Structure 1
Amino acid sequence: MRTPMMRSRTCPDLLAPLLAFLFSSIFAVADPTDRLRAELENAHKASGAPGMAAATFDTKTILAQTQLGVRRADKKGDVEAGDLWHIGSDGKAITATLIARLVESGKLTWNTSLKEIFHDSVGNLHPQAQQITIQQLLSHTAGLPANPPDDLINEAHEAGDRNIRKQRMKIAMDALTKAPLSTPGTTFLYSNTGYIIAGAVIEELLGTTWEKAIAKEVFSPLGIKSAGFGAPSGSQPRGHQLSDDGSRQAVEVGYAGDNPAIYGPAGGMHLSLADWVVFLQDQMLGHQGKGRLLEKESYRKLHQPILNNYAMGWLAGKGGKVLQHDGSNTYWYATVTLHLDTGRGSVAVANDAGPKTGAAMHRAMARALQE
């Protein structure tokens, strides 16, 4: 508002352009795309990552999306808006959502035990492992090791995606014939093994691969078409690793540039930023009873913290009102945050997982979401 003092001390000929400048400056600072771009530039510079992309969104639309840098450090080619990004363990929430659909369809419950799922092999399972429940698998409270043994990982690398169901079942049986590292349900132990076994559960119940099941049950209903498995191929961004001299070296595509295919349910997928946002918007809409994949109570079940502020596929802060997760296969980095009370979220990705990348992206996205 202009006061009498302002009118008496300001030349009328200068007032209009002055106000125009002030208003344009205010809107420039407040513009979400400009803010996001500025913060991502800071993160890009601080991390040294070859390329980055980020988006902020609400339940209806993408508020801002931007990208910068190059697809690979050793060749020309800028990052583009529709590029594909490996999201690592951020995919655990997608696997957990598929499990929730199976719960709703009556194929299992959250308290179904692995004894009930793998009944044909139950004689080989350790007595404590038999009692591990679906909820414990997805909340990292099953007492399972972080990863399968090195010899089985090496064997899986050589096998690629051949006989993938048999490979995952072999991982499951190896883990479940041994005593859990802690009594199931009592301790938080982050476990990729648990999510690989969750994939084997899905395959046992549906008689198909986790890859086909996730495409049919999650991606297709949401209209997600860019999703794939392993590291992106073709002219898409490449993941990078640090060489001894500190430079970034592009890695291979597919499973040659990723963990072996058995890790898919734990974090072995890629997709475009816009398609990832579609899934995340559905997670937020679910709390309003407007999700397309699940009933309202199923979303809330997935997002309710159990131990160590971990829910099922999500780190859940503020009693489940803020969901967060990071993902990396050591060549890529991805981070997501959802504010369920305000219906706003952010994602950021990089084709690098250097020592400064994650922290730089966290700072950038926290600032980009500030009002």
Structure 2
Amino acid sequence: MMRFFVAARRRFVRSGAAAVFVPVLVLSGQATAFDLETYLEQVRTEYDLPALAAAVVRDGETVAAAAVGTRVYGEDVPVMPDDRFHLGSNAKSMTATLAGMMVEEGSLDWSSTIGGVLGEDFPGMSESLSAATLEQLLSHSSGIPMDTEELVDLYFSADTFDYNPWDRRHRVLDAWKTHEITVPEGSPFQYSNLGYMIAGMMIEKASGEHWETLMNERIFQPLGMETAGLGAQTTFGLVDAPVSHRMDEDGNVRPLYWAPAADAPPVLGPAGMAHMSIADYAKWAVWNLGEGSRGPALVAPETLKYIHASKVITPVRENPPPGTPTTGEYAFGWGVVLFDWADHALLTHNGSNGMNLARIVLDPAEDLGVVVATNFPGRTADEATGIAMEELYKAYSDGE
């Protein structure tokens, strides 16, 4: 059942729209021309977003992909099909996959503790923090809290850009290491960027390589993600991708063109600082949907299935920050959620650096996935991308 605007064959003629191709969707035995570009432009216009991109993957292939709008809000700088969008915390699943590689290679174990791996580098670490395991860090169940005011001050400290990212990670953990951590009663889930930063440090220690190098050499390159990179999606000095945007207190839109203002501090890389085109992000969806049966062989099937398997319950959270989980269960860098528009739980995640927003949903049972991204933050972007993700899943699912 298609609940959106396919019946209206009118096409938008905005100069900001750019599509990759238009698929043919078969519903109820009849071929219906589904214009993804037109649909995305309708959503983008309704929610007043600068740019919006989406892709649908099915049976190991990208069957639809499009990008519409402008790179800069209020300006006529059309997006292109291969424009880079920021993934925010959706890159946590990539950090978790790097951890899986280390486990397979024997340099880490899911039960490896922070103290066991990093303790010699951080004398005086609290006993409870030292005892937290890699599995707990990746499932947000270690007891390390969500971003507190103290942690945000550490991320954005005066010397944030005086050191290489891996040195800054060391300094952040060294400043925080004496804190005792406590797992909450009930669900242990606390969405923790610091936890993922520390997991990244454990990966670095085990591999002898920087997280940034590993992402490029062991994720982006093997998957042929030619547009993928780290940090702000634009090249410094160029408007060659959809730029980041913020909303000020008066509701005014403020474009942030390039680094450092256009992304979170590099210290937080393992928690989510990747960017790529919607087509390259679709490759990540395809690979994960294969559950280890599709090349390249980054990790074994049993390892990927373990990464995808739920570990903790995500308690219901009222008005969580856009880009963070609301409810369901959590695996490693993936939510496991039963949406009210699907008949079984799906793998999903949202990501935002406060200036962009991305979503992904995967249905391994149907070998179907949807990725959506925009260069805009906040509740509006959260709702728009959520609606697009839902409608595209319904349109291409066998369930309706």
TM-score by length of 2: 0.80
Which residue of the partner structure matches residue 4 of structure 1? none
Measured in 2, the distance between the counterparts of 1:141 and 1:25 equals 43
Equivalent residue number for residue 120 of structure 2: 120
Partners of 1:236 and 1:98 lie apart in 2 by: 27
How far off is 1:307 after superposition? 0.8
Aligned to 2:21: none
Hey, what's the Cα distance between the residues in 1 that align with 2:312 and 2:56?
29
The equivalent residue for 2:61 is 61
Is 1:155 aligned to residue 175 of structure 2?
A: no
Q: 2:296 & 2:366 partners in 1: Cα distance?
A: 16
Q: Is 1:344 equivalent to 2:368 in the alignment?
A: yes
| Structure number, greater radius of gyration | 1
Distance 1:169 1:81 in 2: 38
**Do the aligned residues in 2 keep the contact of 1:228 with 1:269 (CA within 8 Å)?**
yes
Classify 1:291/1:343 alpha carbon distance in 2 versus 1 (closer, same or farther; 3 Å).
farther
Change (3 A) 1:283 1:185: farther
Higher-helix-fraction structure: 1
Question: Residues 51 and 287 from structure 1, CA distance in 2 versus in 1: closer, same or farther, beyond 3 angstroms?
Answer: same
Asked if structure 1 preserves the Cα contact closer than 8 Å seen for 2:111 and 2:133, the reply is yes
Q: Is the Cα contact below 8 Å between 2:50 and 2:74 reproduced in 1?
A: no
Q: CA deviation at 1:241?
A: 1.5
Equivalent residue letter for 2:261: A
1:208 maps to 209
In structure 2, relative to structure 1, the CA distance for the partners of 1:123 and 1:60 (3 Å cut) is: same
1:142-175 Cα deviation digits (max 9, x unpaired): 111223623312226x533732212112222333
What is the DSSP-based 3-state SS (H/G/I as helix, E as strand, rest coil) of the residue aligned with 2:219? helix
Q: State the match for 1:329 in structure 2.
A: 353
State the 1:45 CA deviation.
Answer: 2.4
Q: Kindly indicate which of the two structures has a greater share of residues assigned to strand.
A: 2
Q: Which runs of 5+ in 2 are unaligned?
A: 1-24, 314-328
- What is the distance in 2 between the residues matched to 1:280 and 1:71? 24
- The one-letter code of the counterpart of 1:282 is W
Report the 3-state secondary structure (helix = DSSP H, G, I; strand = E; otherwise coil) of the residue aligned with 2:171.
Answer: helix
Distance 1:249 1:68 in 2: 20
Q: Equivalents in 2 of 1:320, 1:294: separation in Å?
A: 26
Partner of 1:294: 299
Q: Is the 8 A contact 1:55 1:66 kept in 2?
A: yes
What is the Cα deviation at residue 215 of structure 1?
1.0
Counterpart in the other structure of 1:138: 138
Aligned length: 346
Number of the residue aligned with 2:175: 174
Which shifted more, 146-155 or 207-216?
146-155
2:104 maps to: 104
How many Å separate the matches in 1 of 2:300 and 2:162?
Answer: 33
Q: What amino acid maps onto 1:119 in structure 2? A: G
| Residue 247 of structure 2, aligned match among 227, 234, 242 | 242
**CA positional deviation for 1:268:** 1.0
How far did 1:184 drift?
Answer: 11
- Shift of the 280–25 alpha-carbon distance from structure 1 to 2, 3 Å rule, reads closer
1:58 deviation in Å? 1.8
The worse-fitting range, judged by mean Cα deviation, of 78-87 and 175-184 is 175-184
Asked if the contact 1:192–1:266 (Cα under 8 Å) also holds between the matched residues in 2, the reply is yes
Deviation at 1:183, TM superposition (A): 6.6
* C-alpha contact (below 8 Å) 2:287/2:294 kept by paired residues: no
Does structure 2 retain, via aligned residues, the 8 Å contact 1:332–1:351?
yes
Counterpart CA distance in 2 for 1:113 and 1:270 is: 30
Return the alpha-carbon distance in structure 2 between the equivalents of residues 198 and 161 of structure 1.
23
User: What amino acid does structure 2 have at the position aligned with 1:317?
Assistant: V
Q: Which moved more, 1:224-233 or 1:296-305?
A: 224-233
Deviation at 1:328, TM superposition (A): 0.7
CA gap of 1:185–1:304, structure 2 versus 1, over 3 A, is farther
* CA distance in structure 2 between the partners assigned to 1:24 and 1:321 by the alignment: 24
Equivalent position of 1:310 in the other structure: 330
Structure 2 SS opposite 1:337: strand
Q: Which runs of 5+ in 1 are unaligned?
A: 1-22
Alignment RMSD: 2.7
Shift of 1:326: 0.4
Question: C-alpha distance in 2, partners of 1:139/1:185?
Answer: 15
Q: Indicate the residue corresponding to 1:217 in structure 2.
A: 218
Instruction: Tell me the amino acid that sits aligned with residue 280 of structure 1.
Output: A
Tell me which residue corresponds to 2:324.
none
State the distance in 2 between where 1:161 and 1:123 align: 23
Q: Distance in 1 between matches of 2:335 and 2:129?
A: 25
